[in-house]
Every structure is written in C-alpha cells, then in structure tokens.
C-alpha cells in the first residue's frame, strides 16, 4: 500500500508540473514537493477544489473559473480511482481473507465489507461520469445508465475479489506469486496498446504500471478504437483466472473445513459474473453515448466529418488550456464516435 500511495502522489506531482501555467497552484515548487512527500498531495488538491467551489457557490462564477473547477474535479476523480485500486481494493481482499480465516464476522465487519465493495464500484462510476463531462449535453449520463453501469461493475468485481480471498485462504503466499505474474501480463498488454497518457516516456511507464494493477481487479480502457475484441480477451482471461483460483480452493480445502456456506456463495459467484457481463453488453448496446453519436456537419460547437471507418474527426477547441488534456485523452478512448464538447459546454463545470 505504501507503493500504491507513492505512485498516486507521483502522478499528482507530475500532473502539477505539466499543467498550463494559469492553472498551476500558487505554492512554491518546494512546498508542493514537501506536500507530496508527506502524502498530502491529493489532500491539497481536494482542499483547493473545495475553496474554489465554495467561492463559486457564493459568487457569480466566471467562465474561466468554472472551467478551472472542472479541470480540478477531473484530476481528483482520476486520482481517486488510482487510490481505489492501488490501496482500497487490496485492503478489501485482505479484510475478506481475514474474516474467512478467523471464521468470525462481526456485524461491523460485514457492513464494512459491503460498504467497501460499494465504494470501489462508486469510484468507477464517478470516473466514468467525469469522462462523460467532455461530451455534449445530449450525452449526459442519466439515472438509468448510471444504475446499470454501477451494477455491472459491482457484479463483476465481487466474484473477482472473492476468488482472490479464497485462494489466499489456503495459499497466502501464493498470492505473492499470482499477483506479479498477472500484473506483468496486464502491463505488457497495456504497453502493446500504445498508451499516450503522460507527458514523457518515464511517467508513461508509471501510468501503465498503475493501469495494470487496475486491470488485475477490473476492466479499464486505455487506448482508442473499438474495445469489443479487447474486452472479450480481458473478461475471458479474468473469468478463467478466477475460476482456476476458485477450483484450487475447492481442490485444496480439507473435508472438515469450517466454511460450509462458502460452497453456495461460490456457486452464486459465476452467475453473478455472467449477469454482470450481460448488463455490460446491454449498457454498450443501449445506453453508451456511441450508440446515439452522429457526425455533425457544420454548426458552431463541433466541426466533425465522417471518416471512411465511420468515426468522427474533431477539430481542436478554441481554448485548449481550459481543458484537462489527460482526461480528454481517455474520453476520446472511451467515446471515439461521440462529439466532444467545447470548454463552455463541459458538464463537469456545471457539477460545481
């Protein structure tokens, strides 16, 4: 967890360095370095956003301030997602393992585990909503699509963490072998997709390493283009991997094992995963912005032309310094057929 926290602080510091000069924080560089070394970089970002948001609520907000607030909110959402999978998800698996190991579950522990699952899934929804803020208002995420997106991520995440906890129940040190192997496979897979998220090659490797950790638990799209084949490969791999971990537990457990309730729970995990996949397919077939995206010819907001492959070409916005280029890159990866909004139309600014 120390490594995860250090990686998150490193990303925060690198983003501060690459931000446009008008949007950089007021403190000196040495003070920012000290804050990040003390693991307070993310806290400083949140405090900064709260101060700006409080001022915008009390006063009439200028367009630049609202765009600045959206810029800060996007970075906070991304860092929260990093924290979730670098720190919270491993802690959740460890907590579940501890409960199963001791065969004692206090009511507070049960509530804590359920709450942790909901919080991890909520961070994915918050990140997706942050990406949607780059789209035109007509593609804003409604309650129905939010519920479906939340449910399919929850149903896919629960069986994965359960399989990891069961495997650790018999072979605690086996996880120390399993995680590096799967992480390395995910890191190589992300590298082959040719991501271009950070400003330079060195930080880009850090980003790919973080994404590989996320992929150990949950799907995360990192490259533009159609994701169908990549998604099939990923979910097929995770399904087989989780099934092998669960079968290893079934094979290695003692007959007198004091966990009779785990058998029906494990039998329910596979249907949950399949239902999650069905909900994911339904989301992308009916509720994803790409389903409703249409090329726009003419108009004042976006100048888009249809390419030979059916995608939408986008002209650069008039004031790129008001946009969070990092999240905009990921938004282009997720919504390659959708028309991205100009700064004044950002839903994220309206979320202040």
Tell which wins on pLDDT, 101 or 348: 101
Q: In the prediction, which pLDDT does 254 show?
A: 63
Segment 137-177, tens digit of pLDDT:
556 677 888 899 999 999 999 999 999 999 998 888 888 99
24: left (phi over 0), alpha (psi -120 to 50) or beta: beta
Segment 12-39, tens digit of pLDDT:
888 888 877 767 776 777 888 888 888 8
Rounded to an integer, the average pLDDT of 223-250 is: 88
Question: What angle in degrees, to the nearest 10, is found between the helix axes of 143-170 and 107-132?
Answer: 130
> Distances in Å between the alpha carbon of 30 and those of 27, 34, 75, 216?
8, 6, 21, 35
What gap in Å lies between CA 110 and CA 92, rounded to an integer?
A: 11
For the entire predicted model, the pTM comes to: 0.85
DSSP letters along 75-87, please? HHHHHHHHHIIII
């Amino acid at each position: 967890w120390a490594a995860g926290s250090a990686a998150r602080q490193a990303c925060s510091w690198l983003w501060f360095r690459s931000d446009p000069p008008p949007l950089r924080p007021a403190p000196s560089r040495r003070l920012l370095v000290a804050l990040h070394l003390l693991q307070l970089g993310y806290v400083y970002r949140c405090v900064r956003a709260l101060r700006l948001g409080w001022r915008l609520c009390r006063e009439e907000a200028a367009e630049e301030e609202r765009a600045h607030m959206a810029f800060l909110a996007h970075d906070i959402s991304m860092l929260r997602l990093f924290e979730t999978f670098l720190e919270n998800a491993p802690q959740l698996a460890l907590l579940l393992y501890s409960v199963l190991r001791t065969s004692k579950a206090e009511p507070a522990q049960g509530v804590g585990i359920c709450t942790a699952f909901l919080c991890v899934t909520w961070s994915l929804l918050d990140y997706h909503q942050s990406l949607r803020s780059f789209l035109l208002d007509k593609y804003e995420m409604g309650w129905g699509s939010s519920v479906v997106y939340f449910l399919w991520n929850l149903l896919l995440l629960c069986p994965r963490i359960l399989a990891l906890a069961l495997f650790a129940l018999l072979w605690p040190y086996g996880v120390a072998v399993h995680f590096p192997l799967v992480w390395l496979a995910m890191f190589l897979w992300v590298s082959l997709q040719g991501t271009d998220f950070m400003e330079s090659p060195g930080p880009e490797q850090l980003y790919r390493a973080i994404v590989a950790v996320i992929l150990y638990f949950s799907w995360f799209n990192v490259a533009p283009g159609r994701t169908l084949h990549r998604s099939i490969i990923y979910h097929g791999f995770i399904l087989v991997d989780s099934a092998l971990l669960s079968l290893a537990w079934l094979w290695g457990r003692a007959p007198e094992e004091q966990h009779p309730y785990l058998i029906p729970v494990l039998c329910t995990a596979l249907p949950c995963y399949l239902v999650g996949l069905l909900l994911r397919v339904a989301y992308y077939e009916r509720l994803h912005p790409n389903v409703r995206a249409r090329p726009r010819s003419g108009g004042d907001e976006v100048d888009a032309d249809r390419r030979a492959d059916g995608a939408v070409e986008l002209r650069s916005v008039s004031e790129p310094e008001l946009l969070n280029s990092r999240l905009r890159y990921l938004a282009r990866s997720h919504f390659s057929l959708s028309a991205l909004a100009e700064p004044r139309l950002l839903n994220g600014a309206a979320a202040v």
